[in-house]
């Protein structure tokens, strides 16, 4: 389980001015009976979405409040949490196979086990036969598949994804969405997924958290009651469109409040 309790994070810029990225954020992400929860975090640029992931990953510490994983305070990165970024974060001097094996090698996993897990993951992400290639030889979608496989290799309980499909074309993006849903059920992990894309947030998640403009707070949480397994055709259904409309209206309300200088109303 992941829990943020009244978590706030402030930064000081080069001129000594304090900037608050998030304020009093409360999030609880449960381990569901069969598979971890899938939470999408939706909001405008600069609202602190990535900061929330960095806190959970242990890449930075909260200024105030608590960040807990399985009841323990987060003190730094750990193998129970893996992160996938928007930019293609594979190590360019390593082959695809070497990238996928890297974390296991650092952990001291025996070579035979590393190869078995690597081959399993490359097949799972559709990259069998590409193990000897270098990242520069792959398309954007393929490089992101490598990043996902590398993250999964050490079997993290929690996968943190910071707009991982944002730079992909629409067809590749839809393919990656479907791949991620399949992997989520196979790995039985908990996923926190940051996105600007309302349709993507609805399609992937059990629940969507809507953040206010900076400093980020949770303005609303909407459970998504669409059956799994999901297919792209569900995006044309009336229920899907209703969720999209609900989120569009809420985000518009938040933006309008900020533009008018009015107090942002929180629904939770």
Written as six digits, the tokens of 52 are 């929330």
Residue listed under structure tokens 């897990």: 117
Residue 151: its pLDDT value, please?
A: 93
- Name the residue ranges covered by the structural domains of the chain: 2-80+157-260, 88-155
* HSE of 206, CA atoms in CB hemisphere, 13 A: 15
Q: How far apart are CA 146 and CA 151, in angstroms?
A: 9
Q: How far apart are CA 44 and CA 238, in angstroms?
A: 25
Phi-psi region of 167 (alpha: psi -120 to 50; beta: other; left: phi over 0): alpha
- Has domain 2-80+157-260 been given CATH number 3.40.50.1970? no
Residue listed under structure tokens 């399949």: 182
Q: Give pLDDT tens digits for 125-147.
A: 999 999 999 999 999 889 999 99
Q: Specify the pTM.
A: 0.91
In the chain, DSSP assigns E strands to 2-12, 18-29, 38-42, 64-69, 72-73, 81-84, 158-162, 190-195, 207-211, 218-223
Q: Give pLDDT tens digits for 184-243.
A: 988 889 999 999 999 999 999 999 999 998 899 999 999 999 999 999 999 999 999 999
């Amino acid at each position: 389980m992941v829990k943020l309790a009244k978590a706030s994070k402030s930064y000081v810029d080069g001129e000594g001015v304090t900037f608050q990225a998030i304020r009093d954020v409360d999030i609880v992400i449960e381990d569901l009976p069969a598979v971890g929860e899938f939470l999408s975090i939706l909001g405008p640029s600069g609202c602190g979405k990535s900061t929330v992931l960095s806190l959970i990953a242990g890449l930075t510490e909260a200024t105030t409040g608590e960040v807990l994983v399985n009841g323990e305070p987060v003190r730094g990165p750990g193998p129970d949490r893996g992160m996938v970024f928007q930019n293609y974060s594979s190590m360019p001097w390593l082959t695809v196979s070497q990238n996928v094996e890297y974390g296991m090698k650092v952990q001291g996993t025996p070579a035979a086990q590393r190869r078995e897990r690597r081959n399993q993951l490359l097949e799972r992400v559709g990259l069998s036969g590409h193990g000897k290639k270098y990242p520069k030889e792959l398309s954007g979608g393929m490089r992101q598949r490598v990043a996902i496989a590398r993250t999964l290799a050490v079997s993290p309980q929690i996968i943190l994804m910071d707009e991982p499909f944002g730079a992909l074309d629409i067809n590749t993006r839809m393919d990656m969405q479907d791949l991620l849903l399949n992997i989520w059920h196979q790995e039985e992990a908990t996923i926190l997924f940051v996105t600007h894309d309302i349709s993507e947030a609805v399609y992937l998640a059990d629940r969507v958290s809507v953040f206010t403009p900076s400093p980020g707070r949770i303005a609303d949480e909407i459970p998504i009651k669409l059956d799994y397994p999901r297919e792209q055709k569900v995006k044309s259904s009336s229920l899907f469109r209703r969720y999209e409309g609900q989120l569009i209206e809420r985000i518009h309300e938040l933006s309008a409040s900020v533009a008018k200088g009015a107090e942002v109303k929180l629904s939770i």
